[in-house]
Structure 1
């Protein structure tokens, strides 16, 4: 089961929101709070699920923070919430969970160049190549000298050109890429984007 569902929070929830939900559920289902009550065993099992879900979420987020070179400390208000959510999106991308990354990105209000970059990767991973190219172009327009954005743009463009050439030979429309091509492109991008800080 999805650990976010167990805690009753969204993947875009901040670390503080997750901790708050975890504490509330832990108090409710703690074995000491349910001694002698009907459903004591069910409460104990639920308590174990809550512990496992919280541990899993926090480990995934911490891994994402390290993988993408973010600093978690001192981020508590305003635009800082967007930074934590960006970290969560990057973690989902790192885990190849592109749908969840897009869900988190949708909730972010500060749409800077990094937002467009991550959105491009997640969309490419989902097979939304045209949207991925639009997002990559926007990231590159905002930071034209960023080498990661340049590389992503080139990868997306070369994938489109290759498929466009092949499509003409087989009578396919040139506006979309087949699923295999999208998967290979996403794999290439993941190799390029996970080896250094964003």
Structure 2
């Protein structure tokens, strides 16, 4: 979840703009507006998401005027370079963000976290998990890192369950051909012919 997208503001929006957007969305999705309406549950869900996004943004240094916190846009006391890398990631300029990270000498928890975000954007799930796990291990108290690790783990758990025969069989085209050949052989032994060309 990108909290800025949830609130409909840009990552460089000022405090007043963020507060105004939050207030308008709370009014729009407040459950009291949906009494005796089947959309009430959806409105409550959306309101919860809006409030979570707002809380994440409120903890960010850009919102608090530079103090450290656990927000999305520069948590854990990000230096100016890390904030710039985050802006590049948010803008989809992953190569530029990675280039900046690769030129940094010190590899902090923030560095590993941002490398993980870049890997996610590139679809490199194993690398992303490894980077974000390292960030959490280096800074276990950082709620932003932990949030992303939990989201990542929940999202990939279903995939891994299916990949380990939890939902799909592991047959491939060779198994299919082998099964057809066996079925044809059995049919021929019994006087029939499943596949006439064999």
TM-score range, shorter chain: 0.3 to 0.5
Q: TM-score, normalised by structure 1?
A: 0.44
Q: Which has the higher contact order (CA 8 A, sep 6+)?
A: 1
Computing the radius of gyration from Cα coordinates, the structure with the larger value is: 2
